[in-house]
Amino acid sequence: MPDLAPMARFGGLVASDLRDVTADLGALDSTGFWAVAADSEGRTVCARFGDVRQAPLPGPGGWRGPAPEAWTSSMDRDAYLAGVREVRDRIATGEVYQVNLCRVLTAPLGAGADIDALGAALARGNPAPYAGTIRLPAHGVEIASASPELFLRRTGAVVESGPIKGTARTADGFLPKDRAENVMIVDLVRNDLGRVCAPGTVTVPALCAVEAHPGLVHLVSTVRGELRPDAGWPELFAAAFPPGSVTGAPKSSALRLIAELETAPRGPYCGAVGWVDADRGTAELAVGIRTFWIDRTGGSGAGGPVLRFGTGAGITWGSDPAGEWAETELKAARLLAVASEVHQAGEGPSGGRTAAGQQTIGRYAESTGKIGNTGNSGNTGTTGKIGKMERIERIERIERMTS
């Protein structure tokens, strides 16, 4: 494992001087600036840093990614299409209404790979409003996200979520299914926040707004509420995690079906990645989509580190299996090109800082008043395929998480 110092980067902010690491979400209600990584299987790492300051991106050229042809998928096209058809069959029986079906892509990496260098490449090649990097090698966390989706934002007692449902190449490419899917998940998120917010405070300020992102467009809604005085981070996560937009509806039934159909653990993909400033009562956590992570456990069978990336699509009764496969390809294409050093992009303004990075600085500075010292496809086994017993254990964990 390379000797890399613990750090976190969110847009133009860099956190260093690691003080504490815990799995206790209650720590986020204490003091300090925290980087948070919660994976889809329920593992949470909260890291408190002593120094947070504005800093430029690392210079270009530091990332050495896998060859484009080296990527393999936990499900090939036929397996994914079969999964979509199975979801539609379960919808027909009334078991679920919508399920987000995902696959995990994997490629080998050199031992000295630095996730911060990949995060910088993503910021240049695929800028995103909720981008983030967390590097904690000793704790098994090396994540670089170019997420376009807000999971939870907090300003005092006000909490906000920005679920994405609906993806197309251009704004005129949305289908009726996209809007129906968005409205369905908005209702789920309203219900999640309603479990911890004061009665009558949960609203939907924006419904199915069109947002442009590199290479595609999304339908994005906003759900907002005011937390009850007795609701802290543990209660908020218990109510809202995992995010509704990447699970399905009803959430508990969708999670059980996901555990049955998906052939690899999601890991940080579809979890949560972001920061919490406990001193000022502010936070911004992204849904862990458009997210890479380095796995150094040797689970790939190759013995060396691997880079993983997740992609998926929301399945409804109106889904066309081939169309949903194409959506997973669309979501992955640009990001894989950046990671494999195929996509070329110029630097953003301010010496390499992208507009998204400037937005993060602005949001954080606005909440703090300052920035400174805070004291491809083959169906292979390379993603750690899941056996029957592990499937059962995953379902049992899901039932505990949603009970």
- The residues assigned a catalytic role are 149, 165
Quick one: how many helices (H) and strands (E) in the chain? 9, 18
Three-state DSSP class for residue 287: strand
Residue type, 355: A
The strand ranges marked E within 137-281 are 141-145, 150-155, 158-162, 164-168, 203-213, 216-226, 248-249, 272-277
Cα 207 to Cα 72: distance, rounded to the nearest angstrom: 36
Cα 160 to Cα 157: distance, rounded to the nearest angstrom: 10
The strand ranges marked E within 180-215 are 203-213
Cα 48 to Cα 23: distance, rounded to the nearest angstrom: 11
If you write DSSP's letter for every residue of 165-188 in order, what string do you get?
EEEESSGGG--HHHHHHHHHHHHH
Three-state DSSP class for residue 80: helix
Element (H, E) at 7: strand 7-10
Sequence-distant (6+) residues with CB within 8 A of 191 are: none
Residues in the chain: 403
If you write DSSP's letter for every residue of 316-341 in order, what string do you get?
-TT--HHHHHHHHHHHHHHHHHHHTT
DSSP 8-state secondary structure symbol assigned to residue 382: T
Cα dihedral 19/23/28/31 (nearest 10): -30
